[in-house]
Amino acid sequence: MRLFLAAGLLVLMLNGCGQGENWQTKDIEGVMPRLEFTLTGENGQAVTQDAFADKVNLLYFGYTHCPDVCPITLAKLRGVISGLPAEVANRIDVLFVSVDPKRDTPDVLRSYTDAFGARFIGLTGSKQQLDEVTRRYRTTYGYGKPDDRGNYEVSHSSAVYAFDPEGRARLLIRNDDSPEAIAHDLTQLAGD
């Protein structure tokens, strides 16, 4: 019986060390760097992470001509965020970084992100800027061979990086994470 009580006490103490965080998506705290970038915003002007300070920021790399993964991921995030209480939802921004600057001009990005809501912000940049930010978050992208009409696909990660209001990388949200798990973690992250 004493061994059972000692084990229970140890579990409670260890939970206390984690500050009560019980993530349902992938915890990446201490593994990835802080939110940091210089890119081009939907208004055509340079923008840095400072424009999104004091918010939970969800960073997602994709492109507007994506036939499936991008719209599905962004629609899932829209559904999750719209289901949260307003005081939580208003503390979350989705930063959609297009890795296809040739086609995704600021105007194209604005039209695309507007379809998902005010919390969705389009960003892009030069190849050098995109290479810097994708290297920083250990993700890749590449371009397929153009077809006869000049259309091409862009390969990219489907993961979403979640940063807390202080800009620390905290979570990795994957395709197979449920909306309920994402809502749980975003609510907890926004309350930190």
- pTM for this predicted structure: 0.88
Domain boundaries, the chain: 24-191
DSSP one-letter string for the chain: -HHHHHHHHHHHHHHHHTTT---SSEE-TTTSPPP--EEEETTSSEEEGGGGTTSEEEEEEE-TT-SSHHHHHHHHHHHHHHTS-HHHHTTEEEEEEES-TTT--HHHHHHHHHTT-TTEEEEE--HHHHHHHHHHTT--EEEPPP-TTS---EEE---EEEE-TTS-EEEEE-TTS-HHHHHHHHHHHHH-
Check residue 192 and give its pLDDT: 60
Fold of 24-191: Glutaredoxin (3.40.30)
Q: Mean pLDDT for each 10-residue chunk of the chain (192 residues)? A: 40 42 94 97 97 97 96 98 97 98 96 97 97 96 94 94 97 97 97 73
